[in-house]
Structure 1
Amino acid sequence: MPELPEVETVGRALRPQLLGRSIRTISAHIESLRHPLTLQQDASLCGAPVAAVTRRAKYLTVALANGRGILLHLGMTGHFRIEPADSAHRKHDRLEFFLDNDQVWRFNDIRRFGIAKAVNVDAAGNPLEGLPALGPEPWDPAWGGAALHTWLSRRIAAIKPLIMDPRCVVGVGNIYASEALHRARISPTRPGKSLSRKACDRLVCEVRKTLEEAIEAGGTTISDFRGVDGSEGSFEQELLVYGRADAPCLSCEKGTILRSVQGGRATYSCAKCQR
């Protein structure tokens, strides 16, 4: 599933191609993705120029100048393309947004777990409805070591699923949770409340650095993720633990990377340097 760096990468690629453009018509080739598709019936989405492309957690919003917008989630396998309007659509293209410059913006989703729905937006282009309850962004000044330490103080669950909980902080998916915990030298199985304030400071720092580096690399392509131009993310080359089971630890050069399962998700760590 695309995580925050992949979604941010997609948003950055869409922004220069959509800003100032308007949608002429919308075509849906399926009745529903995760939810029924009704955008093609909403006249308010056509004609007004795109004013902003924003991201909140793993959601993108294409905001229009008339106060309406399109809330999007890539789901497990979703990706976008922008190409000439007369080009043939491909298998699994679920939505087509025909633009005023003879281009078409396509939403392809093999597993149909994505989201695309009309919403109202504020002046900054953020959706006024349609989002679940979400915690702070990783770079929010309000989310620091002190806030994390307080949030964890009464939680006995393991730190990895806790740091992936969007009520704690948004956008820390499975790959980046394993990587950030390794960089912070924290075992993924440690109870949340056992982390000291100093450990929380380290973890916040490494979460931010890991996500920033992944964004600069265009995300991580493990299976299905593709950018708007079809390119793959290159952060996979920088992974220290994820997907490296039984390999030597690159950080301490003494341990071996172990694979375990937490909450149904694969976890990778080094027992020598993560405590």
Structure 2
Amino acid sequence: MPELPEVETTRRGLAPHLEGHRVRSARVRQHRLRWPVDKGFARRISGAKILRLERRAKYLLMHTDRGCAIWHLGMSGSLRLVGPECAAEKHDHIDWQLDSGLVLRYRDPRRFGALLWTGGEPAEHELLAHLGPEPLSGDFHGDYLFSASRGRRQAVKALIMDGRIVVGVGNIYASEALFLAGIRPDKAAGSISRARYLRLAEAIKEVLARAIEQGGTTLRDFIGGDGQPGYFAQQLNVYGRAGQPCPGCGRAIRDLILAQRNTFFCSRCQR
């Protein structure tokens, strides 16, 4: 599914083409997404001016002069810009016709994504109000992680994937960051030292920043906002590589299930 780097890639790809433009009209072909799209959404957004695009965790926030549209790409969703002559296909559920002549199109074969609306402060929306700090911000660091982990018996991978602790560290990047930090994903969060959390926080920042720089990870059918796929999948060290040699020591990468998610690690390099 699209994770933080893919959503940030989408934001960066779309922003130059959306900010400052108006939505001439909108069409919702399929209201039944993860949460039903408001029946009055097309009327509400038509004529609105898009002021800026932001990302919060894995949510894309499109601020307008009327309110804020909150997008979530779910498991298979994508936002892209197409020409008006581009006919909608089976899984193209939402179109925004822009004053530039382009169409912002939402495609979602599995329909696990969402389009919500708020006229208030987006940070106070029920989906966003209880989220932890952004992993690439100054509020996220090793001392913060160390403090948050005290007394916790849960696996460290589950800790860093908890959106109340830190947002946007999904399954792929959690596995990769733990490999770089040399920490087993199933190690009890409360048993890990401050020094190792300092390294883990830096590894999370490094992995996410590199993925954003390279356009996100191409898995399944994700397409970035500029229509180009991501390329970070070519540089994954452990994720999806069970049985293959570890790039650090050569031992076979192992996999296990943690919190119902596939997890990949090296039993020699990660302790």
Q: Is the CA contact 2:237–2:246 (under 8 Å) kept in the aligned structure 1?
A: yes
1:24 maps to a residue whose letter is R
CA contact (8 A) 2:79 2:105 kept: yes
| Partner in structure 2 of residue 57 of structure 1 | 57
Which residue in 1 is equivalent to 2:30? 30
Matches within 5 A, 1:1-275: 1-38=1-38, 40-41=40-41, 43-64=43-64, 66-120=65-119, 122=121, 126-132=122-128, 133-253=130-250, 255-275=251-271
SS of equivalent to 2:95: strand
For residues 124 and 54 of structure 2, what CA distance do their matches in structure 1 show? 13
How many residues align? The count is 270
Distance 1:171 1:194, change over 3 A: same
Cα offset for 1:39?
6.0
Secondary structure (helix, strand or coil) at the match of 1:71 reads: strand
Deviation of 1:231 after TM superposition, in Å, equals: 2.0
Q: 1:140 to 1:146 in 2, by over 3 A?
A: same
Between the aligned partners of 2:41 and 2:146, the Cα distance in structure 1 is 47
The letter of the residue matching 1:229 is D
Describe the superposition over 1:61-80 as per-residue Cα deviations: whole angstroms up to 9, x where unpaired.
1111x241210000001011
The answer (yes or no) to whether the contact 1:153–1:193 under 8 Å persists in 2 is yes
Cα deviation code 1:154-212 (max 9, x no counterpart): 10011111110011100000000000000000011110001100000000000000000
What's the secondary structure of 1:117's corresponding residue? Answer: strand
- Cα gap change, 1:41/1:7 in structure 2, threshold over 3 Å: closer, same or farther? closer
Query: CA 1:158–1:127 in structure 2 vs 1: closer, same or farther (change >3 Å)?
Result: closer
Task: Give me the whole-angstrom Cα distance separating, in 1, the residues matched to 2:41 and 2:58.
Answer: 25
The separation in 2 between residues aligned to 1:144 and 1:232, in whole angstroms, is: 30
Q: Is the 8 A contact 1:69 1:127 kept in 2?
A: no
Per-residue deviation at 1:120?
2.5
String of CA shifts for 1:113-153, please: whole Å, max 9, x gaps: 1110111255xxx5542424201100232221111111101
Distance 1:129 1:264 in 2: 28
Deviates more, 1:135-144 or 1:105-114: 135-144
The TM-score normalised by the length of structure 2 is 0.95
Kindly indicate whether the alpha-carbon contact (under 8 Å) linking 2:10 and 2:226 is maintained by their aligned counterparts in 1: no
Is the contact between residue 27 and residue 42 of structure 2 (CA under 8 Å) also seen in structure 1?
Answer: no
Q: Give SS of 1:172's match.
A: coil
User: How far apart, CA to CA, are the structure 1 residues paired with 2:228 and 2:221?
Assistant: 11
Structure 2: segments with no counterpart, 5+ residues:
none
Letter in 1 for 2:265: S
- Runs of 4+ with >3 A deviation: 39-44
Q: Answer yes or no: is the 8 Å Cα contact 1:93–1:106 preserved in 2.
A: yes
Percent sequence identity is: 42
Q: Which amino acid aligns with 2:235?
A: E
> Could you tell me which amino acid in structure 2 is paired with residue 114 of structure 1?
G
Give SS of 1:80's match.
Answer: strand
* Residue-by-residue CA offset, 1:199-236 (whole Å, 9 max, x unaligned): 00000000000000000110111212111233221001
Which segment drifts farther, 216-225 or 55-64?
216-225
CA contact (8 A) 1:227 1:233 kept: yes
Secondary structure of the structure 2 residue equivalent to 1:111: coil
Q: TM-score, normalised by structure 1?
A: 0.94
